[in-house]
Amino acid sequence: MKTIGHFALLLALGTASVAAVVPTSAAADTAPSVTVNTKNFAYAPADLTVSPGTTVVFTNSDTVAHTVTASDKSFDSGDMPQNATWSHIFAKAGTYAYVCAYHSYMQGTITVK
């Protein structure tokens, strides 16, 4: 319970920061992460294969809003304005097609295996 003691000391000093005293799990630190960039009205890469448990970070580099919306509606980023990021953990094997709700010609696929 060393962490609790440090937390109490930080609280007493008035400098507590939850992020500074809460240990992170080793699994979270080593979980794979990849990025899909939205630029020029396209997802890049449009087709991606990842391992189960991978976090895919979507970044909107366009000057207009986009979404990352699963074709089966199992996930949806909502409105992503310029420079916004959104991430989703793909935990189970399968193929996940997605589209921009505003620009239906923008399509991508995440394959988890």
Same domain, 13 and 52: no
Range of the domain at 16: 1-26
Contact call for residues 75 and 92 (beta carbons, < 8 A): no
Q: How many domains does the chain have?
A: 2
The answer to whether residues 41 and 20 belong to one domain is no
Task: Write out pLDDT tens, residues 38-90.
Answer: 999 999 999 999 999 999 999 999 999 999 999 999 999 999 999 999 999 99
Alpha carbon dihedral 47, 49, 55, 57, in 10-degree steps, equals: -20
| Dihedral of alpha carbons 52, 70, 77, 100, sign | positive
Q: Considering the entire predicted model, what is its pTM?
A: 0.73
**Do 53 and 100 belong together in one domain?**
yes
Q: What is the pLDDT of residue 3?
A: 39
d(CA 69, CA 85): 14
Compute how many other C-beta atoms are within 10 angstroms of the C-beta atom of residue 54. 18
Q: Are residues 56 and 98 in the same domain?
A: yes
